[in-house]
Chain A
Amino acid sequence: MKTVLFLEDGFYLEGIGFGYPGETIGEVVFNTSMTGYQEILTDPSYRGQIVCMTYPLIGNYGVNSSDRESSKVQVEGFIVKEHSRIESNWRAEGSLESYLETNKVVAIEGVDTRAITRRLREKGSMKGIISTVDFERESLQRKLENFPSIVGRDLVAGVTTKEIYEWEEDLGIRKMEKVKKLPFTVVVIDCGVKFSILRCLKEYVEKVIVVPAHTSLKEILKLKPQGILFSNGPGDPQPVNYVIETAKELIQRLKKKEIRIGVMGICLGHQILGLAFGGKAQKLKFGHHGGNHPVKDLTTGRIDITSQNHNFVIPPQSIPEEGLLQTHINLYDHTPEGSEHKELPIFSVQFHPEAGPGPFDARYIFGKFVDLITALS
């Protein structure tokens, strides 16, 4: 099936469609992970984005019901060099192609993914369209122009849970070492949370409750949590003002010592906390999407290889709050990767300690969260 990929800057590539026929528009980003395409496809943080995998051979081990990060495929479109015609793995339950088809995702293969990556690196992320129906440059260009930019769009509303629910699954086969489960309740503010975050939390604490992003602090406190986690999520943090407001309120009440709750943020959650402390968001040129980013813990000197997926960053110098310390930096480009409050029980990280996909190096961050909660109670 002839399919084209067209980028905002006029880059036109012809390939072969697989998955669902049709047309899709999104911000095109590249991901450098060599494994974990199913986790990437189902990661709600990719809402609004078309993902181009830099590793050329995708689909080799098929898909299964366990390696999901949400209940469905979230990406807007998928670009690979070659998708596997066969799936080979003891856990495989189906092929990548049928998975995309069932989930109605438009995908393209047989294109020079390295050329796309280099273009995105040089020019920054841009809008793109994959189409199995329209091959006209001008018409494709028009469609892209009419499509809203990812900046300023609230993508969280589209991925957050509708209802409050309790999470039951722990790490299972992802478990590498035994940890003691503590009798705490953690509320996760779902901005598009990955299952791996919930699995990690469930490994450490007895009760994990997931609430919709717009849930008010009052509602959250009714659940009597010892910890609150601001989750990852898609896109620009600035338009998600309802969560920023919740965070601001939470910070105020912690400052007034009215409550004793440990607070953690991951990725978008980290940015939301930064905004709540008064910071300003900036868009990165092409973002961080991959599983090999070195992050240095400035307090210990330790370097972890981390999983990353974000397009925005809150520069520390934009945050007026004096109590907020930088704890981690990215050794690739020296962007901020984590912060911690001197007095308040709040810390957050830009990277993904839960992996899924990616290295497990930073899982200790969850232990740190539980230690924080333990210290408070």
Chain B
Amino acid sequence: MTDERLKQVSSLRRAMIRPELGAICGAILVFVFFLMIAGDSGMFAPEGIKNWTVVSAQFAIIAVGACLLMIAGEFDLSVGSMIGFSGVVIAILSVHMGWPVWAAIIAAFVIAMAIGALNGFLVIKTGLPSFIVTLAFLYILRGLTIWLSITTTRQTIIGGVKEAAVGDPLAFLFGGVIFKDLFQWFGDMGWVGTFTRGTRAGQPIVEGIPMLVVWAIVLVIFGHFLLTRTRFGNWIFAAGGDAKAARYVGVPVDRVKILMFMFTAFCATVFATCQVMEFGSAAADRGLLKEFEAIICVVIGGALLTGGYGSVIGAALGALIFGVVQQGLFFAGAESSLFRVFLGTILILAVIMNTYIRRMITGER
């Protein structure tokens, strides 16, 4: 049935309804802006690039989990608490109980994913909004973390993980730095600045690519492939788009949602482990407000809060915007409190734009 009243869709309009479009434009704008106001502040020198790359990568790791979960139609507000919890579990098991670090890391992943599964199970079985269930876990996990940390070590910051992790194979996977030789060569060639004094004289300032960044890239590629190319990805869209319709055609909606809660917990634990390995310590208050930052990245990336639509690449770009602006304002010497003003503003703009895009897709007026 061809409809003569249907206008030919312009390629511009078709590009408009890609979920990532807003984030792509946003990222370009942010880079142009900071190149203009902070171009000579060292923000785009190797060390500056490393600075905002690491921050963006941190956001990206939790944003991938939050993105897939939001597309599946649910939220997880316990991400921040989960980061604190997983970190403290690793530190207690390795430093306090004397487990090898690799075993502590595996245990943290298992426990965190079990809690993620419990989150999902409660949401499915009670039919309550995930907002409420995971809000409860935001408090439960944070409280447990502080309690665990104080009862076992009498303090809320547990150090000594770095010493325990020396030579540990799994610890390197989260806290290591790769391509050191390459960056040494960059340093020798003069492309990357080198230390001129001290014990590290002659070594490049940026010693390599931190594993944190590798994790972010791997998770983004994995998430994007899973979502757009696989059967399971189709089920994620379906679960969030209309769970009932999906069930009627045989999509195991409950399983999809519970697995996505577990994946979010997995991402939070990756974040926590990288942080613990970098600082050499765990603290009970780590990860505060990270759940909201993850959701903001996802929304800037074009996902709908109501589920069923979104993009992992968009969420990654959202994380990049987030990281660049947060660090860029610092490089530009701006008042750092302005960052939150910016965040609130961009969040509202992103949501308005996403709502508009949804109307275009579904043809609502």
Partners in one complex: no
Interface residues, chain A, CB within 8 Å of chain B? none
